[in-house]
Homo-oligomer: A and B are copies of this chain.
Amino acid sequence: MAGRHFLQIPGPTNVPDRILRAMDYPTIDHRGPEFGKIGRKALEGMKTVFRTNGRVVIYPSSGTGAWEAALVNTLSPGDKVLMYETGHFASAWKALASRLGLEPEFIESDWRTGADPDAVEQRLRADSEGRIKAVCIVHNETSTGCVSQIADVRKAIDACGHDALLMVDTISSLASMDYRHDEWGVDVTIGGSQKGLMLPPGLSFNAISDKALQASATSGLTRSYWSWDAMSDLNDQGYFPYTPATNLLYGLVEALDMLHEEGLDNVFARHTRHGEATRRAVEGWGLEVFCREPDHYSAALTAVLMPEGHGADAFRKVTLDHFDMSLGNGLSKSADRVFRIGHLGDFNDLMLSATLSGVEMGLELAGVPYQRGGVLAALDYLSARDQDAAKEQM
């Protein structure tokens, strides 16, 4: 098909040309002096994205690996872990914990909000013996477009004086939405390369608090590839205990430069604005945003409920076949009931306009009941906002 593909799943995201070109350089000796500089830049730079002064670990792996790393470094067989069912990915993380021999306890939900800090607090208060060793929350649930307020979860844990570690998955929020590892008191943050960092998949991250590091000294799960210990000495010089994914690291260094050139706060504001424009389009179409709680709206993606009797996957096939645009599918509980619009990463107003145009034309072509004018509502918002911004600059 002619023209550019529109990759509007909520990750992997559109990789900008600068990053593709940066990764397109010959691989170098991962034990040589030039590599050390790159390694240090990558490791130091990731601290600025996690907003932490603590340690960051980079794995050559998918984000799934970083989930596993967070658990195996800090916990012991049979440990209880409190997890919150925000959606498909929270459920997948829970399944992973079970496979590792942990005992996850799940706070169930209908997926249409982020985590409820009060529910967390309640459970922790009930754990008088302190058997719960970790609380695991997905910051931005990629399957639903619902955000959990991490600072409030931290307060909930503190409120009952519970000693559990707080682990947070930011795979689809990191570098797209405001996140503060240190300030919010998170012990392990999990990240991946292929969303807000604008890279292809293949790198994952752990940001680690001192408390988590101490836990790792005595924890009993077996680990080797994911072991934080092996990383630490070599990382100080920018090296890694086994062969790193060199070319993805080239791209990461470029991505960090791009994020700081734009300014992280501007990046976050851009995503927030695109989230609002998208929801106005959804409203304009007379459709329903899957996330039910305005305070939990995601700035990275918007999941949209299909009208009764209309499958999301048939609709998504139309947008792919006719408009060369990939939208995200509904997963497990929400399969075929929602489609997801990714508006994160290297993205701007016209790319969003194209995306929403593709959805509107796809609804038409797929025979889905909708009202015309969603795109128009989004354009109104985007151009009005810009006028305000323009006025402010005067």
Q: Does the CB pair B324–A348 fall under 8 Å?
A: yes
Query: A39 CA to B222 CA in the complex, in Å?
Result: 31
Residues of B within 8 A of A357 (CB): 349-350, 353-354, 357, 375, 379
Is A219 in the interface zone, CB < 8 Å from B? no
Residues of B within 8 A of A349 (CB): 322-323, 357-358, 361
Q: Does the CB pair B96–A224 fall under 8 Å?
A: yes
Is A245 in the interface zone, CB < 8 Å from B? yes
Picked from B192, B224, B347, the residue with its CB within 8 Å of the CB of A243 is: B192
Q: Does the CB pair A224–B99 fall under 8 Å?
A: yes
Residues of B within 8 A of A353 (CB): 353-354, 357-358, 361, 375
CB distance from A279 to the nearest CB of B (A): 17
Q: A194-B243, A200-B245 are in contact. Are A2 and B324 (CB under 8 A)?
A: no
Q: Does the CB pair B9–A29 fall under 8 Å?
A: yes
Q: A361-B383, A383-B364 are in contact. Are A64 and B225 (CB under 8 A)?
A: yes
Q: Does the CB pair B2–A26 fall under 8 Å?
A: no
Is A346 in the interface zone, CB < 8 Å from B? yes
Instruction: Encode contact with B along A9-46: 1 for CB under 8 Å, 0 otherwise.
Output: 10111111100110111111111110000000000000
Taking CB as reference atom, which chain B residue is nearest A20? B24
Is A107 in the interface zone, CB < 8 Å from B? no
Residues of B within 8 A of A314 (CB): none
Q: A202-B247, A390-B365 are in contact. Are A225 and B26 (CB under 8 A)?
A: no
Query: A390 CA to B386 CA in the complex, in Å?
Result: 38
CB distance from A13 to the nearest CB of B (A): 8
- Among the stretches A55-63, A125-133, A183-191, A206-214, the one at the interface with B is A55-63
Which residues of A221-241 have CB atoms within 8 Å of chain B's CB atoms?
Answer: 221-225, 227
Query: A270 CA to B1 CA in the complex, in Å?
Result: 11
Is A373 in the interface zone, CB < 8 Å from B? yes
**Most chain B CB inside 10 Å of its own CB: which residue of A267, A347, A357:** A357
Query: A31 CA to B225 CA in the complex, in Å?
Result: 27
Taking CB as reference atom, which chain B residue is nearest A226? B225
Query: A17 CA to B270 CA in the complex, in Å?
Result: 26
Query: A367 CA to B267 CA in the complex, in Å?
Result: 28
Query: A306 CA to B1 CA in the complex, in Å?
Result: 34
Q: A7-B28, A223-B99, A357-B375 are in contact. Are A244 and B201 (CB under 8 A)?
A: yes
Q: Does the CB pair B1–A348 fall under 8 Å?
A: yes
Q: Does the CB pair A28–B4 fall under 8 Å?
A: no
Residues of B within 8 A of A105 (CB): none
Given contacts A2-B347, A365-B390, 16 further A-B contacts (CB under 8 A): A1-B348, A2-B348, A4-B16, A5-B26, A21-B24, A23-B23, A30-B201, A60-B65, A60-B202, A62-B225, A201-B244, A222-B222, A323-B350, A324-B350, A353-B353, A373-B376
Residue contacts A-B, CB under 8 angstroms, 19 given: A1-B348, A3-B16, A11-B243, A12-B27, A20-B25, A31-B329, A32-B320, A60-B61, A62-B225, A99-B227, A100-B224, A200-B246, A200-B248, A201-B244, A201-B246, A349-B357, A350-B354, A353-B361, A372-B376
